[in-house]
Structure 1
Amino acid sequence: MTDAPDSSLPPNAPPGLTDREAALVEAVQLALPASIAELSALVRIPSVSWSAFDPAHVAASAEAVAGHARDLGVFESVEILRAPMAGADGQPGELGQPAVLATRAARNGRPTVLLYAHHDVQPPGRDEEWESPPFEPTVRGDRLYGRGAADDKAGVESHLSAIRALTEVAGPDFDLGLVLFIEGEEEFGSRSFANFLEAHREKLAADVIVVADSDNWDTQTPSLTVSLRGNVTFRLTVSTLAHASHSGMFGGAAPDAMVAAVRLLASFHDDSGAVAVAGLEGREIDAPPYGEDSLRDDVGLLDGVTPLGTGSVLSRMWAKPTVTVTGIDAPSVANASNTLIPSVSVRISARIAPGQPAQKAFEAIERHVRDHVPFGAHVAIDDVDTGDPFLVDTSGWAVTAAKDAMRDAWGAEPVEAGIGGSIPFISDLSRVFPEAQILVTGVEDPNTRAHSPNESLHLGVFKRAIQTEALLLLRLDGRGGNS
């Protein structure tokens, strides 16, 4: 086939594509029902990687992904591998969740592309908050609903479908090197990730790394994520009494743990809702237009509820810290009794602005806790997990190639965007492979509700994300490794 635009291209092909590129876009379109079906089968596997859930489901998910990778017929090796997590003493601990690693060597000076996604998912939460069962994929309108339908099994499927389309157009004997790395514990903090990288460094080495675990500006506009916040999470236990006591008899004199915990947690924010922890960094940034009305629509703020913090909305979301209480162990309302509670535990999740090491941020939060404990309460901090923020270098040729592919597949100008969430392992990738160019893409949009009930995937975004990646792979198959 020629590399020049062809007048015989399919009628719905974007303008300016070569005939091979247009055939690739068409192949993705024709295969979309099969891609959705394959994704739906993955969503049915409840692969929650948290320690309280059955690890057999994560293992089953890894087996399914590995089977799909083998069926592509392009990889020289497909393995299911596990690495040890870091133990409390810094020594190797128990094995992490299973990951899928598939490799194909580059030929004739072509680059190698590592395609990352994760097959584990968040816990579903309360079933009654879902409009359809969380692990029963359901199409309503133009969206596929289910836990993991977007985050991140759609990322997994976008890689598989893009490779399948590439093979259909270029044949299975293309020269591009490929590494498919599908992690199994991203939602549990990627606790074995660093050890996995060290153990399989040679197999994972690549010129370009595509991390398909982010979002897009909206359903019609693609984004390339260029900044991510880091994270600090831990369990905080506040104790005031050796045992529970009658609140009527001793209340008013004996401080209960709940009152102490509430006062301590309130100290994390000022009256505007901005984080009030000395030593946590943040700044104002230049960002695309996005006001409080957009925030209200996207997040569903109730009437009369005001946003937190000060400054531009996107600066608050992308470049300033947060401190959130994501869980609490205390008697339920149904089981409440007239009792002074001796101890309360909460889960703290903080997001860290790009530029600040996560360990420094944790030290600042820990200092704040010690300095603001009320009534002389005892506090304990454990189960600490940290991940550094990341800023993407946008000067490389791979960023240009990715934005060109987005522009051609979406028919819209891509946005360079930050995200308020964290993908801490990207810092590990950058550390181990400093010469690799990292591209953070994704299949989500503002209405995806990742991590929440009724998580969903916009099927139009899904199609265009596959087309983008397929175009990128086809074009990289035609260039030298470092050119």
Structure 2
Amino acid sequence: MNINSLKIFIEKTWDTSVIPSLKKYITIPAVSPAFNPDWNTTSHLLDTLELAQSWCKSMALKNTNIQIIKEEGRTPILLIQIEATTPDHNENIMMYGHLDKQPPAAGWDDNKGAWTPVIENDRLYGRGAVDDGYSIFTAVTAIKALQSENIPHGRCVILIETCEESGSWDLEYYIETCKDIIKIPSLIICLDSGCGDYERIWITTSLRGTIVGELEARVLTQDIHSGMSGMVASSFRILRQILDRVEDSKTGDILIKEFHTHIPQERLTQMQETAKEIDTHLIQDLPLFNATSAMSNDPLQLLINSTWKPAISYIGAEGIPKFETAGNVIREYSKLLLSIRTPPTVDTTMPSQKLKSVIEQDPPYGAKVTYKILKHASGWDMPQLGDLLEENINNASNLCFGKTCGFAGEGGSIPFMTLLAKNFPDAKFLITGALGPNANAHGPNEFLHLPYVKKLNLAISIIIGNL
């Protein structure tokens, strides 16, 4: 394997073909279905797949079938089947990514925007650049690089969905209906995760689960004059009391025992090593305002908090008007959108029901308090890599970055991984990605670190070529 030739091919492909295509992708407002009720009547999701399909065909991969699959009422997918170069290569590799996007968000720099691709300081800015538009281009370029050097590779299936940011609600259906194409993967590579720094390959060891729901407190049939305060309880104050049952407001600890679990010693050891590697910039990379501090000054504790402890975020509100339209009234109701991240090994079925029970029982003042579960998905803990695969990954990391790989859990969720682990219990997983410090997926100024992703692309090519 001529590493330098692979490197030259991949860098040239990125500069002349991938980056221009990614720029086109960024301009498509392909907001995920959960955030766009009209997704099925617009063409944005399909537009992203057609762009990717056209580009993939231009790469002229050998022995390849590239198809968009869309069924009525379901989000479309792109499925690419690439046969093994020789019968001796009996590996079945599945690669995964997604092309749907988070909403645009406010707060982008003046010269940037969600749908406006900008390259600045070797960073490609725009919504979806790192989450997860680059994945399809990386996967195909990795295989094409091997073919350009006549390096044998196993059978590869690339599945790109358009519903990941909404919980991948159609993926189980497509896995079942496309099982004759997907077959049984021996290795699953997911390019939708993060990296602790831009200096090595990072292997994601775990993903947290998620529970999302609406919490509402209703006290009146209509707004009334605030001069009546003291007679009717504030719906917001009732929410505060309810939330005190769920979260310790001083520490952020979740108070419901069903949300907690034991941290495996292997994961704790990995977090200790990771904390040593990234302790110099872990807190500095947080966009903290003014004198705001992190929840701990201990990098290890921060890693534990964000990967193996449950935590709640308040991500939306209704019934609370903007200042310019806020009358001096007691509002009839308050509603909050809650997002709770759960530890990797916790099955979210029971905790989600327990949360609903804790919230709705004995409402203060007899108010109407309801909790509506919108979605929940369990987390994922990585199966053992095995010595040969870990050696392969470390070799690729050393060749591309000059350092062995790092291990880190992720605080976010990829529901598809739990689904794949259930359907393919014997498969090995390599979950990695380019979402590194300050890349800010889901927020303003999301970017893809171009020098890093080119090296990561080379590493993926080497790993596949050495299986």
TM-score, reference length from structure 1: 0.86
Asked if 1:158 corresponds to 2:138, the answer is yes
Q: How many residues align?
A: 445
Aligned position for 1:73: 60
User: Residue type matched to 1:181 in 2?
Assistant: L
Aligned position for 1:184: 162
Aligned position for 2:195: 216
Q: 1:140 to 1:242 in 2, by over 3 A?
A: same
For 1:3-14, list aligned pairs within 5 A. Answer: none
Asked if the contact 2:124–2:449 (Cα under 8 Å) also holds between the matched residues in 1, the reply is yes
Aligned position for 1:145: 125
Q: 1:24 to 1:317 in 2, by over 3 A?
A: same
Asked if 1:21 corresponds to 2:22, the answer is no
Asked if 1:378 corresponds to 2:368, the answer is yes
User: Residue type matched to 1:50 in 2?
Assistant: P
Q: Which of 11, 21, 27 pairs up with 1:38?
A: 21
- Displacement after TM superposition at 1:180 (Å): 1.0
Aligned position for 2:438: 447
User: Residue type matched to 1:275 in 2?
Assistant: I
Provide Cα deviations, 1:453-478, integer angstroms capped at 9, x if missing partner: 000111111111111111122223xx
- Displacement after TM superposition at 1:101 (Å): 0.5
Q: 1:262 to 1:332 in 2, by over 3 A?
A: farther
Distance 2:282 2:361 in 1: 34
Provide Cα deviations, 1:439-464, integer angstroms capped at 9, x if missing partner: 10101111111111000111111111
Moved more, 143-152 or 63-72: 63-72
Asked if the contact 2:95–2:157 (Cα under 8 Å) also holds between the matched residues in 1, the reply is yes
Segments of structure 2 that go 5 or more residues without pairing to the other structure are none
Asked if 1:101 corresponds to 2:89, the answer is no
Distance 2:406 2:288 in 1: 25
Q: 1:276 to 1:432 in 2, by over 3 A?
A: same
- CA-based RMSD of the aligned residues comes to 2.3
Aligned position for 1:422: 413
Q: 1:315 to 1:432 in 2, by over 3 A?
A: same
Aligned position for 1:322: 311
Moved more, 307-316 or 386-395: 307-316
Indicate the SS of the match to 2:317. Answer: strand
User: Residue type matched to 1:470 in 2?
Assistant: S
Asked if the contact 1:78–1:101 (Cα under 8 Å) also holds between the matched residues in 2, the reply is yes
- Displacement after TM superposition at 1:228 (Å): 1.1
Q: Which of 241, 259, 263 pairs up with 2:220?
A: 241
Q: Which of 401, 404, 420 pairs up with 2:392?
A: 401
User: Residue type matched to 2:124 in 1?
Assistant: L
Q: Which of 457, 463, 466 pairs up with 1:472?
A: 463
Q: Which of 228, 252, 260 pairs up with 2:238?
A: 260
Moved more, 254-263 or 179-188: 254-263
User: Residue type matched to 2:69 in 1?
Assistant: L
Distance 2:218 2:280 in 1: 41
Aligned position for 1:132: 112
Asked if the contact 2:393–2:405 (Cα under 8 Å) also holds between the matched residues in 1, the reply is no
- Displacement after TM superposition at 1:204 (Å): 1.6
Moved more, 45-54 or 410-419: 45-54
Distance 1:332 1:319 in 2: 36
Aligned position for 2:291: 304
Distance 1:394 1:21 in 2: 28
Provide Cα deviations, 1:304-326, integer angstroms capped at 9, x if missing partner: 32333798111111110011111
Indicate the SS of the match to 1:213. Answer: coil
Asked if 1:167 corresponds to 2:147, the answer is yes
Percentage of matched positions with identical amino acids:
24
Q: Which of 105, 112, 117 pairs up with 2:97?
A: 117
Distance 1:350 1:187 in 2: 15
Provide Cα deviations, 1:410-452, integer angstroms capped at 9, x if missing partner: 1111111111111121011011112221110101111111111
Aligned position for 2:255: 276
Q: 1:130 to 1:394 in 2, by over 3 A?
A: farther
Distance 1:422 1:196 in 2: 20
Asked if the contact 1:356–1:389 (Cα under 8 Å) also holds between the matched residues in 2, the reply is yes
Indicate the SS of the match to 1:334. Answer: helix
Moved more, 297-306 or 144-153: 297-306
